[in-house]
Structures are given as structure tokens and as C-alpha cells.
Amino acid sequence: MTLPATADADHPADTGRIFLIRHGETEWSSNGRHTGTTDIALTDHGRAQATALGPELATIRFAQIRTSPMTRAIQTARLAGLVDPEPIIDPDLVEWNYGDYEGVTSDEIHRDRPGWTIFADDAPGGETADQVAARVDRVLARTKGDVDGGGDVALVAHGHVLRVLASRWLGRSGRFGSHLALDAASLSVLGTEHDVPLLRTWNRCPGLPTDLGGQSEETVGSSDRVRPSPP
């Protein structure tokens, strides 16, 4: 099934959408290491995942394409065929800065901080959820003109930052992203219905047998221990 068939059934012609594309697998995401500012390329499997996105996006004419400056995101955009219009490199789409937890697995963190999650507890020496939310608010502001005019926008980035962005689209705090699992090389679509922001499609994984086949964020399993977050 193509994305227009899954996302467009109730899509008014005068309402634009935001397509969120999480990059494909990397070596660090496959073994559970938090990957924020470290620039790592896709694995062979990650490149295949990114290529599988192409048919899902081929019929969409985007008014604007933005990508994180990280290699894994730029590769995903290119392999998925997101080349027209030329992607804008947007530093505000870079992944959450994990500070002292960069390259560390959740299991390793939990030895000293049982129950820790990035959304509830932030990262020492890194960014807070509010700081990430401020970044994605700027991204949404840059897309507003096209979306309000009925144009579609594609954002290619990372698991945590896209979960925060979706939360802000819904009018929630960045910490609400703890409730929005996002797999590698997944497609999600933000839109509106009667002027109410909503999720039209979430965590669709082309080429995988089910939506449970990828990593749930920049690391494997770090969203498994979720605590309630503020609205």
C-alpha cells in the first residue's frame, strides 16, 4: 500500500502535511548506543531501509525538504529520492545532545540510574527536553508558510528529535515524546483535521513485515522504561 492510500483519505486539498522520516539503521543504533552528535553513516541494512522509502514518497510533490546535517540523515534523504527541491540542511534537526551519555547504552546508564529515560530525566552535560523543544519549534516555524498554504514538507532526522517535534505539533511538551515510539527508516505524517493538529500516519515502516521491525529510537530499548510525562 502506498502512503497516499494510507494518509490521504481525509486530506483536504488546502491543508499541508509534514512528513517525518527517521534515518535508517547505523552501527550504533543496531547495538543500542545513544547516537546524538556523533556522525555515523548508515549500515548496508540502513541503506536498504532508506531505499525502501522511495516508492512511498515518489508521488508526493514537496514544497520543502529539510534534513539534519548528520550523514545518516543526508544519506537517507538521498536514497529515498528526496532530492527535489534540493534539501535544506537544518542544524535544528540534529539529534538530542546526549552529553555524557553519548555512545552509552540504556542498560549501562540504568546501572547507576535505575528507571532513567531521556524524556523524563534529560542527560548530564547535554540538552534538556525543553531545549530540544525550542529547536523543533523553530523548524515548525520555518515550515509554517508552506504548510498553511497547502504544501507538503519532508523532514529527515532522528528518533528523539522527531518525537519531540511531533509532540510540539500536537501542542504538548517535548516530554510527551516518550509516548511516541519511532522505528528506524519509518514514515510518519503530521496534519490537521478541522484545524486540529493530529497524527495522520505514525511509525510506518516500508519494507518491513510489521511496524515492530526496527529500533524504537536512536538506541534500542531506551524507550522501554517510560514514566508518565506532563501534557
Contacts of 72 (CB under 8 A, 6+ apart): 23, 24, 26, 39, 40, 41, 42, 46, 158
Phi, psi of 215 (to 5 degrees): -90, 145
Give me Rg for the CA atoms of the chain.
16
Verify whether residue 193 is a known catalytic residue.
Answer: no
**List 25, 34, 56, 95, catalytic entry:** 95
Residue position matching grid coordinates 541494512: 45
Q: How far apart are CA 24 and CA 53, in angstroms?
A: 10
Is the previous residue joined to 55 through a cis bond, with omega within 30 degrees of 0?
Answer: no
Verify whether residue 23 is a known catalytic residue.
Answer: yes
Q: What is the DSSP string of 58-97?
A: TT--EEEEEE-SSHHHHHHHHHTT--SSPPEE-GGGSPP-
CA torsion sign for 144, 148, 153, 158 is positive
Q: CA-based angle 83:84:90, to the nearest 5?
A: 65
C-beta separation of 38 from 76 below 8 A: no
Looking at the annotation, which residues are catalytic? 23, 95
